[in-house]
Amino acid sequence: MSPKRPQACYNPLSSNPQVEGIMADWQQVSGGITAPKGFQAAGIAAGLKPSGALDLMLILSDTDAIAAGVFTTSQVRAACVDYCRQRLEKRAVARAILCNAGQANACTGTQGWQDALESAAALAAALNISAEAVLIASTGVIGQRIKLEALKQAIPELTMAASPAGAEAAAKAILTTDLVAKSIALETHLSDRPVRIGGIAKGSGMIHPNMATMLSFITCDASVSPHLWQEMLGRAANRSFNQITVDGDTSTNDALLALANGQSRTPAITEPGPEAQKLEAMLSEVCVYLAKAIARDGEGATCLIEVNVTGAVNDAAARLIARTVAGSSLVKSAIFGRDPNWGRIAGAAGRAGVPLSKSS
């Protein structure tokens, strides 16, 4: 029997008061994924999981939102990943995110692809929006198709349940082997107006850098250009979800999707600058919080290890060393056994592929 995993919903945010040189002047607020203005959410039991637990999630923006995504680097990808990538390449705008739990719909061939299309179409019809405005995600057992009829029958209930109070249910509906839901919302001020970012995530096993078996959904009420929002999300992913590891395995369904609907009524951020830096710093903090919650909830985990690297020539080198140390079985076994053997850390750093000085 695996040891009991540590609680994943912890209070501290980043241990670093600065993110890429920006002082953290945001504050944590309630509301999770629906804390930003103009967002609703829902989570219901649609009969997709044999346990009868919540298993179907909706995030809905009241208006068109700029959409961005970061996905698994695996060559074996679920239908939902290819679907979202194609949608975002054509038009970086969305109104809704639909996620089912229970079946990954990965390695399911042309039938699985058709299931993805029909899922999006069913939600679009119920919301009276274009199917191109729907993004989808799936999590569960690889090789199993979505229980499509059960999903379609549940769509009316799902859309009726959507509300600003639906954040908690949405966070629970995406879970699989997770022990706890993972949710956060932060607020700052841009141009003297409040701006919020909310996020939820799931992930517990098959977790490793370059995306892993995880899903995360981000909402924001700032107004930001598509190319800038995508660039921000990519950098935030590299600072967070691409820096965690539990068991060294990656998977087929990983997706980080972010919507920004502009409902804060702040001036549009279209170019790099102080406002863009501030928004990106808060986005990164949300992602770091959720990434740590995933690692802390790792299957069989008993503690959370955070590796800080100083003196590296650049961020890429520091991240490579940190990932190698964090992923080392010898380092993890030493920490699990309460045996502070620093030699194992040094050994892992030495094989990371980063040149070290002679004094190291």
In order along its 360 residues, the chain shows pLDDT tens digits of 333 443 333 344 444 444 444 556 899 999 999 999 999 999 999 999 988 899 999 999 999 999 999 988 777 778 898 999 999 999 999 999 999 998 888 888 899 999 999 999 999 999 999 999 999 999 888 888 999 999 999 999 999 999 999 999 999 999 987 788 999 999 999 998 999 999 999 976 544 555 545 799 999 999 999 999 999 999 999 888 888 876 555 667 788 999 999 999 999 999 999 999 999 999 999 999 998 888 776 655 667 777 788 888 888 788 788 778 877 777 777 777 777 778 877 787 888 778 887 654
Work out whether strand 93-103 and strand 56-71 pair parallel, antiparallel, or are unpaired. Answer: antiparallel
Angle between helical axes of 226-239 and 274-296 (0-180°, round to 10) = 40
pLDDT at residue number 360: 47
Q: Please state, in angstroms and as integers, the Cα–Cα distance from residue 53 to each residue in 48, 148, 174, 260, following that order.
A: 9, 17, 10, 30
Are 332 and 348 spatial neighbours (Cβ–Cβ below 8 Å)? no
CA 219 to chain centre: 11
Residue type, 155: I
pLDDT at residue number 31: 95
Work out whether strand 93-103 and strand 134-141 pair parallel, antiparallel, or are unpaired. Answer: parallel
Catalytic residue among 108, 139, 213, 266: 213
Token reading at 14: 């980043």
pLDDT at residue number 339: 78
pLDDT at residue number 173: 95
pLDDT tens-digit series, residues 301-323: 667 777 788 888 888 788 788 77
pLDDT at residue number 272: 93
pLDDT at residue number 250: 60
Percent of the chain at pLDDT exceeding 90:
54
Residue position matching structure tokens 């509300």: 163
DSSP letter for each residue of 73-96: --SS-BHHHHHHHHHHHH--EEEE
Rounded Cα gap, residues 156 and 343, in angstroms: 58
Rounded Cα gap, residues 272 and 311, in angstroms: 27
Taking the model in full, what pTM does it have? 0.82
Least Cα distance to 134 among 118, 150, 157, 148 occurs for 118
213 carries an active-site annotation: yes
pLDDT at residue number 340: 73
pLDDT at residue number 307: 79
